[in-house]
Amino acid sequence: MTATSLDQIISLCKRRGFVFPGSEIYGGLQGIYDYGPLGVELKNNLIAEWWRANVYERDDMEGLDAAILMNRLVWKYSGHEETFNDPLVDCRTCKSRWRADHIHGRCPNCGSTDLTEPRPFNMMFSTQVGPVADSGALAYLRPETAQGIFVNFANVLATTSRKLPFGIAQVGKAFRNEINPRNFLFRVREFEQMEIEYFVMPGTDEAWHQQWLEDRLRWWDSVGVPRERITVYDVPPDELAHYSKRTYDLMYQYPDLGPQEIEGIANRTDYDLGSHSKDQASLNLTARVTPNADSTARLTYFDPERRHHVVPYVIEPSAGVGRGVLAVLCEAYAEEMTRALPAEKLQAVTDALTAFLKSVGRSEKLHPEARDAMLAYGEAIGNHLPERLPEVEPLLAMPGAETIELGKKLRGQAQPLIDEHFRTVLRLRPRLAPVKVAVFPLKRNHDAMVETARRIRRQLQLELGARTVYDDTGAIGKLYRRQDEIGTPWCITVDFDTLGEGKEPALTDTVTVRDRDSMAQERVPIANLPLYLREKLR
């Protein structure tokens, strides 16, 4: 099972500290999010997996970390100053602003069709470099990391002696002044990209494009986003970006949103290196570029076999980190019944849900859209009880739900059943899990048990080089559930047997290791733990 609604993920992220709205104590800032203690681990782990697969495990890649701020001319010749626009429309009735291609001629806020003609809106954030605010100080926050790679092409080539084909990988922040940021991490104004510019001999570009499509689908599969949940959209010519000859968009099936782009894989031809080169007339470029009188470099590659300079073509797999984190969370998320529900309790909660939905249907306080959304979601839950019982929580968190008095009764009926009979589990690939191992003492007021658990935690931290935690703030069952919910693959419990104080002397110096997915428990000698866990983490 995966997440059935985005609200489940949003609620988990907030509850457990994966993601917070940015600047929340001042009312937030639209389209900006902060990663919390668990989110930063998950995000870093996803990036590390990408870097490992694309840089360390290949023979044809180099890494780069270019600055966010670049000379304004980069954005002039990349084409972004002129073409990085979205069509903006104003609603004349309620004065809201929208992206024309997202709203089908009707204002989503008030329903009016009295809209202005679309006009281009450049999405680059501008700023000023230095203390004097004249036109020479204008700079942009980069809207893609790619340009940092193109303008360093000659530097990387000169310092690494690479031969074609080879690629440069980079992970970093990008900024876009999206007209309507929305859908949580999906469309934001500040985000991270994992980008590869892969330089190939012209003529081999189409084959490499296919190859990268396969490689990237395989990688998403390896981090828990299966191939069958991604459709490949062959972008039609009239939708292509200004630099692209052909682009495949990988469309992940996000809950509520349907198939949406998680990564684009573009054939950028010789457009970018050609655009940033001097002496363009001598380069036999195939792309149409703006004449460049400012560049000081010829961004070419000397082909030793044919003994002439060529401008390489570029294949660009470009993935969003936040969209990746969201997809990984959606795929890993499950709400599972761990024990069957007695029939009378199920009936009581069914009745409470029915009464709540009746009250929603009659409510005059609710906005009609909010009411319909709540009814549809509530009915879907009702049709799939008891499996979807835990979704009562996100249902009651929907806008306006707090105005329905019977919500309290529903929560009162549902919550104890959810607590007793269900668990939320994130079945993350162990390498992505924010916490790899949690260690608990069976009794928190037993000094030797606490000391042993803390020692095991420290030792595993050193041996595994990944986040491990100690926890003694609840009963073991509760601690297991807490770790399940954040995706910790293994929990270790130190008990009386570990200390030689139990009934089984043979278990001295062993601990219980509990597996997140199967919930099976195994007794493992403390001395074997590093090897045991390292094998599993591989």
- Binding positions for ligand GAP, rule: CB under 6 A: 144, 146, 176, 178, 187-188, 191, 193, 195, 261-264, 316, 318-320, 322-323
Side-chain-side CA neighbours of residue 18 (13 Å): 25
Nearer to ligand GAP, 166 or 252 (CB): 252
Neighbours of 151 (CB within 10 A): 22
- Spatial contact of 213 and 49, defined as CB atoms under 8 Å apart: no
Q: Are strands 138-140 and 126-128 parallel, antiparallel or unpaired?
A: antiparallel
Nearer to ligand GAP, 167 or 320 (CB): 320
- Spatial contact of 394 and 11, defined as CB atoms under 8 Å apart: yes
For 273, the 3-state DSSP assignment is helix
Shortest distance in whole angstroms from residue 467 CB to ligand GAP:
26
Shortest distance in whole angstroms from residue 65 CB to ligand GAP:
16
Nearer to ligand GAP, 274 or 320 (CB): 320
Tokens 């009411």, residue located:
371
Nearest residue (beta carbon) to ligand GAP: 320
Q: How far apart are CA 278 and CA 409, in angstroms?
A: 72
Shortest distance in whole angstroms from residue 218 CB to ligand GAP:
17
Shortest distance in whole angstroms from residue 193 CB to ligand GAP:
5
Nearer to ligand GAP, 289 or 401 (CB): 289
Nearer to ligand GAP, 86 or 471 (CB): 86
Nearer to ligand GAP, 146 or 168 (CB): 146
Q: How far apart are CA 251 and CA 230, in angstroms?
A: 5
Shortest distance in whole angstroms from residue 314 CB to ligand GAP:
10
Nearer to ligand GAP, 146 or 433 (CB): 146
Shortest distance in whole angstroms from residue 365 CB to ligand GAP:
34
Nearer to ligand GAP, 176 or 411 (CB): 176
Nearer to ligand GAP, 89 or 326 (CB): 326
What's the 3-state SS for 139-187? EEECCCCHHHHHCCHHHHHHHHCCCCCEEEEEEEEEECCCCCCECCCCE
Q: How far apart are CA 361 and CA 480, in angstroms?
A: 39
Shortest distance in whole angstroms from residue 75 CB to ligand GAP:
13
The side-by-side arrangement of strands in the sheet containing 119-122 is: 97-99, 85-90, 119-122
Comparing C-alpha atoms, which of 281, 312, 311, 336 is closest to residue 3? 336
Q: How far apart are CA 243 and CA 245, in angstroms?
A: 7
Nearer to ligand GAP, 149 or 398 (CB): 149
The b-or-e profile of 410-429 (16+ CB within 10 A means b, else e) is: bbebbbebbeebbbbbbbbb
For 128, the 3-state DSSP assignment is strand
Q: Are strands 437-441 and 468-470 parallel, antiparallel or unpaired?
A: parallel
Q: How far apart are CA 195 and CA 264, in angstroms?
A: 10
Comparing C-alpha atoms, which of 203, 201, 217 is closest to residue 166? 201
Q: How far apart are CA 269 and CA 157, in angstroms?
A: 18
Nearer to ligand GAP, 256 or 303 (CB): 256
Shortest distance in whole angstroms from residue 403 CB to ligand GAP:
32
Shortest distance in whole angstroms from residue 321 CB to ligand GAP:
8
Nearer to ligand GAP, 144 or 484 (CB): 144
Shortest distance in whole angstroms from residue 263 CB to ligand GAP:
5
Shortest distance in whole angstroms from residue 384 CB to ligand GAP:
31
Shortest distance in whole angstroms from residue 396 CB to ligand GAP:
29
Tokens 């529903």, residue located:
410
Nearer to ligand GAP, 250 or 439 (CB): 250
Q: Is the dihedral of CA 148, 178, 376, 27 positive or negative?
A: positive
Q: Are strands 61-64 and 166-175 parallel, antiparallel or unpaired?
A: parallel
Alpha-helical (H) ranges within 18-62 are: 37-51
DSSP string of 53-109?
A: IIIIT-SSEEEE---SB--HHHHHHTSHHHH-EEEEEEBTTT--EEEGGGTTTS-TT
Shortest distance in whole angstroms from residue 192 CB to ligand GAP:
8
Nearer to ligand GAP, 41 or 144 (CB): 144
What is the biggest distance separating any 2 CA atoms in the chain, rounded to whole angstroms?
Answer: 86
Shortest distance in whole angstroms from residue 147 CB to ligand GAP:
8
Q: How far apart are CA 48 and CA 51, in angstroms?
A: 5
